[in-house]
Structure 1
């Protein structure tokens, strides 16, 4: 597909990197020559320097023939104007990054008036993900599928756990819970396991099931913790605003510590139910005075990764039950994995993931199945993709034990008429099903691609 991206910042560069590796023709427009030079040296893309709002420059970049125009500059107004011009020039689809709460509150109207295919708000999406983790703090990661009816949840097997030394086939016999362990990370190795795989303490595992079954599993393991009822947020950014609003709506007590006085005044006006403290949230004495040790959860959302990580580590040392840290730089994930911090959140990665899902849905819009949901796991080494089966193909009606799938591909869950099926060898995929596929090292755009030999 021919895709034009306006803005080579955090989101734009992350989207370009993912889409270029999937074989799309990518052109980036940006006024920053240095950023473009770096992008051109590290990715197989074409760079165009200039103002993305210029119709002449958009024509030069091939927007009239583009399948998709993505506007991801730091200014919402510029993004919306770029998409409006691009749509007028003939771009088939347009996506704008819109972060301002006032604009995002009326996004449906804006989408209709501007002809937007999609609006992406990294901070709002990240706030929803953090909120899920705070509602179920036992998990390290939670990814929803089938509009929330199925979840893919990450956890670490504790020392001396009953799971240590247990083969996967014995899980149901031992615990009577309907779950499927679909990914295991053991040190630096990522495994799509079979039933004979044996778990060890220290393994990071991802399980898929209905939420009630996952909660039951955590309870029998002795890992279940009640949802956070008091949350301290360090940094009063847009993400802090969206998160506080989300948490207040579910009756969580929220305290935000922000060093900028003007920002504190704005947050006081916008979030009257929250406690806003004008202080340096990275100062140990401030944290102690504001009751860090008594809070159920800490979320660090400053603009500095180093500050977020240091405060997060201090909170864990103070025995805070749940610590979530925002990071921008994803290039040191192997180090982050070894830190005693519960969860890391990257708004740019979440936004990029949503855009990639949309692109894959565009690709197979006339195929046998459609991408409904896409999540990346374990430093993007694993994908979990939800497909809607729309017509007959080589994967339909075949018992899974007879379906020849490619290596490192697992049919994790089937949703049929609202019923959640953890599939066995005799189960089949049928037209109308939603199917969750977990795969390592592949980019799936159509359900038929799981077969060793494509039939259809």
Structure 2
């Protein structure tokens, strides 16, 4: 598939890398000459210097033959215009990153984004709220991925002494889950310095880093298996001075007993207090210990710093943890420092740009394309791919067709007719089914070949 990306920032670059590696022809449009030179040297794609709002520039990027436009620059208006131009060139799929999408979705709004050429809106605030809410739903998780708007979850946990499943074989655990299906798709053991695709005979040990796939309906049972059901969030504290903080409070208030917002901007705090029902709003600096003690941070189950200032987000999260809150998250706009932030004590460091890129990849995958996403520090990738007519993977049950590849890759989830399921050995993948496959990067092309249409 031929894809044009408008915007060479972190989001555009990450999309270009994954889409190109997935076998798609990618062209990227970026106005900054220096950035273009960097991208042309680093990526094996067509890089065009210019504006995504320029027909001439888009033509140089091959818009006339493209099947998809991804407008992900930092300027809403430019992204909308790029989609409008792409519509005139007959590009069927046109996604725009729009921070102010609420203006267009507000009750009474007469503006139709689709009429302006946008077929899909990616709203950064909405994405961040969903990502952080998922983390809050799954206590103790190192990382959480979701697919098809949260129907399937991939959760990473470090196994700690005392967890009910320590010392058990994965095969034995499966017998304890009843009607719920769980599938361990990755296991990292630091003592051995390696990561592998687990099998039923693997025995879980304290310290193991395990990634498990399950449906949203099975979340409660998953937490029970880990002995974490009593750690569900009952009190949450959010800090921030923007729309993300307000929307996150609204989401958390729908299922968390006590939600508190700390806003350091007096004017914004007043507006937030008027809008938020059932949320305590405090005006103050969350990097001051007295402010956190005023809101009883030591009794909080979850703390999230989601403002536009990375330093303040990280510092307030670290301070909250030092005061006794075990689960803290912070939005970081400095991706090069994210690993350091985790090492010094922030449980969850969220990169908005990476989250947006993942959201777009998930949407793309539902459009009959193969896309990849790396699982942090595991040397594994998650590939969403659709089974083609007559493909090898549809030739029989998984325990037969997958036997030669069981240590190279694993099918973590299957989507059929809008319904998600965790596969078993007897599962037969049909043409048109979508699968989430966890695999080592060197095996991507081999696995994609299994799903390729054959006549």
| Match among 149, 154, 157 for residue 156 of structure 2 | 154
- Between 115-124 and 397-406, the greater mean CA deviation after superposition: 397-406
The residue aligned with 1:356 is: 361
Q: Does 1:126 align with 2:131?
A: no
Cα-Cα RMSD: 3.5
CA 1:46–1:295 in 2, change beyond 3 Å: closer, same or farther? same
Q: Secondary structure at the match of 2:229?
A: coil
**1:218 aligned onto 2:223:** yes
SS where residue 277 of structure 1 aligns?
Answer: strand
Output the CA distance in 2 between the equivalents of 1:392 and 1:45: 31
Check 1:19–1:393 CA distance in 2 against 1; reply closer, same or farther (3 A cut): closer
Distance in 2, Cα, partners of 1:297 & 1:421: 30
* Equivalent in the alignment of 1:288: 293
- After superposition, the Cα gap between the structure-2 partners of 1:333 and 1:183, relative to the gap in structure 1 and judged at 3 Å, is farther
- Tell me which residue corresponds to 1:399: 397
Cα deviations by residue, 1:149-207 (Å, 9 ceiling, x for unpaired): 44322221013545444332222346656422111233363321122223221222111
1:209 is paired with a residue whose SS is: strand
- TM-score where L is the length of structure 1: 0.83
Relative to structure 1, the CA distance from residue 81 to residue 212 in structure 2 (aligned partners, 3 Å threshold; closer, same or farther) is closer
Q: For residue 65 of structure 2, what is the aligned residue in structure 1?
A: 65
Deviation at residue 276 of structure 1 after TM alignment: 3.2
User: Which string of whole-angstrom CA distances, capped at 9 and with x for unpartnered residues, describes residues 331-375 of structure 1?
Assistant: 4565555454433322211211232344455564xxxxxx6x976
Q: 1:191 to 1:271 in 2, by over 3 A?
A: same
Q: Is 2:263 the partner of 1:258?
A: yes
State the shift of 1:226 in Å. Answer: 4.8
Number of positions where the alignment pairs a residue of Structure 1 with one of Structure 2? 448
Residue 179, structure 1, aligned to residue 177, structure 2: no
Matched, 1:244 2:244: no
CA distance change for structure 1 residues 278 and 36 in 2, over 3 Å: closer, same or farther? farther
Distance change in 2, residues 1:186/1:109 (3 Å):
farther
Pair 1:193–1:103, CA change in 2 (3 A): same
Name which of 303, 314, 326 aligns with 1:309: 314
In the TM superposition, residue 17 of structure 1 has moved relative to its aligned partner by 3.1
Per the TM alignment, residue 386 of structure 1 is displaced from its structure 2 partner at its CA by 5.1
Between 81-90 and 302-311, report the one with greater CA deviation: 302-311
Q: Counterpart in 1 of 2:100?
A: 100
Normalising by the residue count of structure 2, what TM-score does the alignment of the two structures yield?
A: 0.83
Displacement of 1:263 in angstroms is 3.1
The aligned runs of 1:13-162 (5 Å cut-off) are 13-103=13-103, 105=105, 110-145=112-147, 148-162=150-164
Aligned to 1:323: 328
Does the CA-based 8 Å contact 1:29-1:52 persist in structure 2?
yes
Structure 1: 5+ residue stretches without partners: 365-370
Distance 1:22 1:393, change over 3 A: closer
The 2-side partners of 1:390 and 1:43 are apart by: 29
Once residues 447 and 147 of structure 1 are traced to their aligned partners in structure 2, the CA distance between those partners, rounded to angstroms, is 24
Does structure 2 retain, via aligned residues, the 8 Å contact 1:181–1:207?
A: yes
Q: How does 1:445-456 map to 2 (within 5 A)?
A: 449-450=449-450
Q: CA deviation at 1:80?
A: 0.8
Task: Give, in whole Å, the separation in 2 of the partners of 1:162 and 1:31.
Answer: 55
- d(CA) in 1 for partners of 2:433, 2:92: 29
- Of 147-156 and 121-130, deviating more is 147-156
